[in-house]
Amino acid sequence: MKIVHIASELYPYMKTGGLADAVASLAGTLADRGHEIAVFLPGYRSALDHPHAKAAERVFRIRIELGNELMSGDVRVFSPRANLKVYLICREEFYDRRNPYGNGERDYEDNADRFIFFAKGVVETLRLADLQADVVHAHDWQASLVPLLLRDAERRHGLTLAMKTVFTIHNIAFQGIFPARVFPRTNLPDELNNIDGLEYYNQINLMKGGLLFADRVTTVSSRYAQEIQTPEFGCGLDGVVQTRADDIKGLLNGIDTAVWNPAVDALLPARYSAVNMAGKAVCRAQLLKSQGFDPKFAGPVYGMVCRLAEQKGIDLLLANADFFVRENCRFILLGSGERRYEEALQALAARAPQRVALCARHDETMSHLIEAGADFFIMPSLFEPCGLNQMYSQAYGTVPLVSRVGGLADTVTDADEDPANGTGLSFPPTAEGLADGLSRSLRLYADKARLAAVQQRGMEKDFSWTQAAAGYEQLYQDSL
C-alpha cells in the first residue's frame, strides 16, 4: 500500500515526547513490511540540520493561501531507508525554531498559522507530487486538518488525492483550540464553521477536523479509546468522540526494539539480557555514580523520565516528597518542561541531596541509563494515552510503578494482585495511590526472589512494533 503519515514530530528529526517515537516506528515498520511510506514533518531547523536531510533535494516551491494572504514555502525530500521518504514542509518564519510548539512558558502566538500552513502544504504536495495515496494518516491536532483540507482540495480541483483517511489521537488534552477569527485562515467553506464542523464554544478546534472527517479514528491503547468517551478523560471532546464510537479503535503502540533493547543498547556502559543480568548491575552503579551517589548503594533506586507536565503526575510525586526524604532510597529524575515543576523538584533535591537528584534537561543517553540502572521506574500519570517508558522499563528489567490509566493499565499487570503474571505495581491516579505503590515497592524490593520473578516476566514480554503495525495494516485494509 501507499501510506502517507503526517505529524509534528518524527524521531530523530524532532522529538518532545512519544509521538516522535510512535510515528517513526510505525512508519519504519510499515516500510520494512514492503509498503511505500511517506512521512510529512514541518521543516524544523533540527530536521534540516540532521545529516540525513543534508542532501535533501528541494522538490517543490509551494504557494499557500491563508485567508487573503499568499505565503510561499519549500518542500524538501530525502529517503532515510528503503521504501521511506520524509517530506519537510519548509518556511523559515514558521519552523526555524528550537522548540516545535512554544517557548516553555507558553505556546507560540502564530501556532494556528504554522499548523494550518503545514496541513495545507501537505495537501498541496500530495497534489503536485501526484502521490496517489491509498491511505493518508494524520496524527494529533497539528495534522488534524489534513483529512478535511484534502477532501476540500479534491472537490475544488476535481481529482482524487487519497482513497481513505485515518486520524490518530495520541493525546486528546491538546486539541489546537484557537479564536474564531482563525477560521478564515483555513479557507474552508463557512458551513464547516458550526457545531458539526470546527466550531467549539465560539472558538475553533482543529482536532475536531480529524475526529469528524477522517474515515477511521484510532488512539494508542484500548483503554484510552474507552476513557476519552467519558467527561473525566475526554477533555471536552467526549461527546464528539462518542459520535465516532463505531469507528474508533485502540491500537497499542510498540517500542523500537532496535533502540530500546538492553542486549544491544550502545548507549549503556554494559549490556544484559534476561539470562544474564550482570550488565544491569554495572548500569546501576554507573547511574548512581553519575549523580554523585555511592555506586554500591544497596537500597532501592527509583528512576523517572518525562516531560514536566501535569499529565505526568508530578503533583502526585511532590505530594509524596516525604517518602524520598524519609526512606533509605535513591531517586533520579530526568525531565524538562514547565518551570514551576522544575523549581519544585529542584527544591525536593535540595531538601534531600544525598537521596534525590534532578537532571533538568532532555538527554537521550541519560534516559537509557535510567531505564537500565534503576530498580523501579515511577510513572504516576493522571492520564496516559499509551506511554512508552513503562514498556521500556519492563524490557530493561526495571519494575514500573504506574497509575492505572490508559496504556499503563493495558501494559502493566500488578504483581500483588496477580502474583503469577505481575510485571509491575499499579494504583489509582491519586497521591494516596502513589503512596501505596511506593510502600508496596519497598516490600517487593525486600523480597529478592519475587523481585527477580517480576523483572523476568517483564523482560519476556513482546512489545515490538510487529504486532502494532499488523493492526494498522488490517485497519487500512478494512477501510479500503
Nearer of residues 253 and 398 to ligand GLC, judged by Cβ:
253
d(CA 14, CA 216): 26
Residues that bind ligand ADP in the complex, under the rule CB under 6 A: 17-19, 21, 305-307, 334-336, 362-364, 367, 386-389
Closest Cα to residue 359, out of 424, 445, 414, 291? 291
Asked if 394 touches ligand GLC (CB under 6 A), the answer is no
Interacting residues with ligand GLC between 243 and 262 (CB under 6 A) = 253
Q: Which residue type sits at 452? A: A
Q: Residue 208 in contact with residue 188, Cβ under 8 Å?
A: no
Which of 305, 345, 388, 468: binder of ligand GLC (CB under 6 A)? Answer: 388
Residue listed under C-alpha cell 540540520: 49
H or E, element range at 233 = helix 231-234
Q: Which does residue 220 bind out of ligand ADP, ligand GLC, none, counting CB within 5 to 8 angstroms by kind? A: ligand GLC
3-state secondary structure of 413: coil
Q: Residue 437 in contact with residue 425, Cβ under 8 Å?
A: yes
Nearer of residues 56 and 408 to ligand ADP, judged by Cβ:
408
CB of 378 to ligand GLC, least distance (A): 15
Residue 170: C-alpha distances to residues 21, 22, 63, 100, 379 (Å) = 11, 9, 30, 16, 17
H or E, element range at 357 = strand 356-359
Nearer of residues 73 and 176 to ligand GLC, judged by Cβ:
176
Nearer of residues 26 and 359 to ligand GLC, judged by Cβ:
26
Q: Which does residue 336 bind out of ligand GLC, ligand ADP, none, counting CB within 5 to 8 angstroms by kind? A: ligand ADP
d(CA 181, CA 184): 7
Asked if 220 touches ligand GLC (CB under 6 A), the answer is yes
Closest Cα to residue 406, out of 222, 154, 168? 222
CA angle 278, 284, 290 (to 5 degrees): 140
Q: Which does residue 364 bind out of ligand GLC, ligand ADP, none, counting CB within 5 to 8 angstroms by kind? A: ligand ADP
Question: Residue 447 is placed in which grid cell?
Answer: 523480597
Q: Which does residue 306 bind out of ligand GLC, ligand ADP, none, counting CB within 5 to 8 angstroms by kind? A: ligand ADP
d(CA 317, CA 435): 9
Nearer of residues 144 and 171 to ligand GLC, judged by Cβ:
171
Compute how many residues bind ligand GLC; rule: CB under 6 A. 14
CB of 18 to ligand ADP, least distance (A): 2
Interacting residues with ligand GLC between 397 and 436 (CB under 6 A) = 407
d(CA 330, CA 315): 19
d(CA 357, CA 369): 14
* Part in contact with ligand GLC (CB under 6 A); list of ranges 240-248, 264-272, 378-386, 418-426: 378-386
Strand partners, 85: 38
Q: Residue 211 in contact with residue 144, Cβ under 8 Å?
A: yes
Nearer of residues 125 and 389 to ligand ADP, judged by Cβ:
389
* Part in contact with ligand GLC (CB under 6 A); list of ranges 13-21, 79-87, 234-242, 281-289: 13-21
Nearer of residues 288 and 386 to ligand GLC, judged by Cβ:
386
Nearer of residues 213 and 377 to ligand ADP, judged by Cβ:
377
Question: Residue 92 is placed in which grid cell?
Answer: 523559515
Q: Which does residue 400 bind out of ligand ADP, ligand GLC, none, counting CB within 5 to 8 angstroms by kind? A: none
Interacting residues with ligand GLC between 153 and 192 (CB under 6 A) = 170-171
CB of 221 to ligand GLC, least distance (A): 8
Q: Which does residue 2 bind out of ligand GLC, ligand ADP, none, counting CB within 5 to 8 angstroms by kind? A: none
Strand partners, 376: 302, 399
DSSP state of 43: -
Nearer of residues 11 and 272 to ligand GLC, judged by Cβ:
11
CB of 249 to ligand GLC, least distance (A): 14
CB of 212 to ligand GLC, least distance (A): 21
Nearer of residues 133 and 251 to ligand ADP, judged by Cβ:
251
Give the residue nearest to ligand GLC (CB): 18
d(CA 189, CA 122): 19
CB of 362 to ligand ADP, least distance (A): 4
Q: Residue 445 in contact with residue 451, Cβ under 8 Å?
A: yes
d(CA 97, CA 74): 16
CB of 366 to ligand ADP, least distance (A): 7
Closest Cα to residue 199, out of 242, 240, 150? 240
Using CB under 6 A as the criterion, which residues of the chain lie in contact with ligand GLC when the complex forms?
17-19, 22, 170-171, 220, 253, 384-388, 407
